[in-house]
Structure 1
Amino acid sequence: MSTLQELSSKSAKITFDKKVLSAVSYLHPYVKHRIYIAETSGILPKNMYSSNGIIDECIIQLYNNGFNIDAERHAVKLELFKLVDDYMNELFKKEVFHKNTISTSEMRKREIAKLGEDYTIDADMDLILNTELNDISYQREKDNELYLYEDKETSILRAFDVSNLPIKRSPEVFGRFYNWLPINISNIVDLYIFGNLNFEDIAKIKNISNHRVKLIFDRVKNSFRTHIE
């Protein structure tokens, strides 16, 4: 039976709707940021997707999936984040061919690989976070510059304990950061920074251990700080 069918009484429906609506304000900053990152890197075509559309689709899924209507407000919020996270991951896989559309098929395979097993959080941790995060040089081919609103820049820098990044370097640094970081790893970083979720919440959404989430974040943080010094 779907959640919608279970909401037989008006009071139950109102109560559950309030839990859902309370989560939406947390979802929008995260979804908007992920869309912008994907558009800037060329994974998504510009102006085709909106946070409202993606969140609405996931709310419909929540109501149709038979979620426990008596769940606590925080549990509803985490379930919506999980639905959004899964939805966007599948969307990125579907739309990744838009990136480097004039590239060879081999280059496209490499882009798809970034979304596949080699770069998922289930892959070997040393391979992802030591080789990819520590050894990839910022001296590589110039990436897209990324222009973030000041509050978003501040949020990232505060999370990484960075206070001395010159303003004129910001677009270059953030552009390279998001182009260099595998999608599934930047996803964890953005859940923490823009989703305002703690490591325990992210672990539940990604179905991994709390320790592993913290390890990923700490290594990304250390690598980011190393590359801008």
Structure 2
Amino acid sequence: MVIKQLARHKEENDFEQFYNKISAMEPDLRKFMTRSLKAAENQGAIDRGFYNADELLDEIYLEMFEEFADYMDKEKIKTILFSKAVQKIEEKKIIEQETPEYISTEEMLKEELNALDEQFTMDADGDLILNTELDDISYKQISDRPNNVILDTTLEQELIKKLDLNDSLLPSLERRTTFGALFTNIPPRTKSVLELYAFGNRSHFEISEILEVPETVIDRIMEKMNERFRLIE
């Protein structure tokens, strides 16, 4: 029914009605966009308050209006919408300036998986610390990774809930700082997977469709993410 309505609005060139229908189709899309932009702000990847989730969604819906075809089904449209949302957020970061266009998302995710096992060490007091001197395998560059990031409480709670972590995980500033550093130092494409899962409420299969990578790769990434965050439980 919704697809027929969208097709009619497209045929009539009525973007306003098209917008009203498609924006109500997937409420989690706005949540994903808002949370992901906020996370990027927390990490200093984009300027605070410079980008607006609703404005970016307007761009996405306009693109969807222009590209819409009546052979698309509802799930396909949702996949396209989330894929465009990921692309919009990546465009607002400096990642695209460093990422060679010829490297596929699947190849980058596999390389980032290899990096995830070697991100941490222990200091003399037995406390978990981040090893910030590692090579960034994804982009073959050495970068200084921030270790003093504190995420907004809403983002922390979303991640804790989706990763099924202990509710009392963050009782102190030190724990929150470590949690923020763990999240911030996740490689870029892997972070997109986690944000789609935690902020976009997407399943492993849906993420694989959005990013066009095998579901087995998404499964492995989420296993690594659970291992990573359970280091501070």
Deviates more, 1:137-146 or 1:199-208: 137-146
Gaps of 5+ in 2: 1-5, 121-128, 133-145
- RMSD of the TM alignment (CA)? 3.2
Gaps of 5+ in 1: 97-111
TM-score, normalised on structure 1?
Answer: 0.75
Q: Structure 2 matches for 1:2-151, cutoff 5 A?
A: 7-9=10-12, 14=17, 17=19, 19-23=21-25, 25-65=27-67, 67-69=68-70, 71-93=72-94, 112=98, 120-123=105-108, 125=110, 127-130=111-114, 132-137=115-120, 138-140=129-131, 143-150=147-154
How many residue pairs end up in the alignment?
Answer: 205
Q: Percent sequence identity over matched residues? A: 19
Q: Matches of 1:119 and 1:217 in 2, distance apart?
A: 19
- Look up the equivalent residue of 1:48 and give its one-letter code: F
Aligned to 2:93, the other structure's residue is in SS state helix
Give, in angstroms, the shift of residue 116 of structure 1. Answer: 7.3
**Contact 2:19/2:61 (8 A) holds in 1:** no
TM-score, normalised on structure 2?
Answer: 0.74
**Contact 1:43/1:92 (8 A) holds in 2:** yes
Q: Matches of 2:182 and 2:104 in 1, distance apart?
A: 16
Deviation per CA, 1:4-38, whole angstroms, max 9, x where unpaired? 89723599x85x54541223521121111111121
Q: Matches of 1:9 and 1:47 in 2, distance apart?
A: 36
Q: Matches of 2:171 and 2:151 in 1, distance apart?
A: 11
- Look up the equivalent residue of 2:214 and give its one-letter code: S
- Look up the equivalent residue of 1:193 and give its one-letter code: A
Q: Matches of 2:109 and 2:81 in 1, distance apart?
A: 28
Q: Matches of 2:13 and 2:87 in 1, distance apart?
A: 31
What is the aligned partner in structure 2 of residue 193 from structure 1? Answer: 198
Aligned to 1:167, the other structure's residue is in SS state coil
Q: Matches of 2:34 and 2:51 in 1, distance apart?
A: 10
**Contact 2:158/2:198 (8 A) holds in 1:** yes
- Look up the equivalent residue of 1:191 and give its one-letter code: L
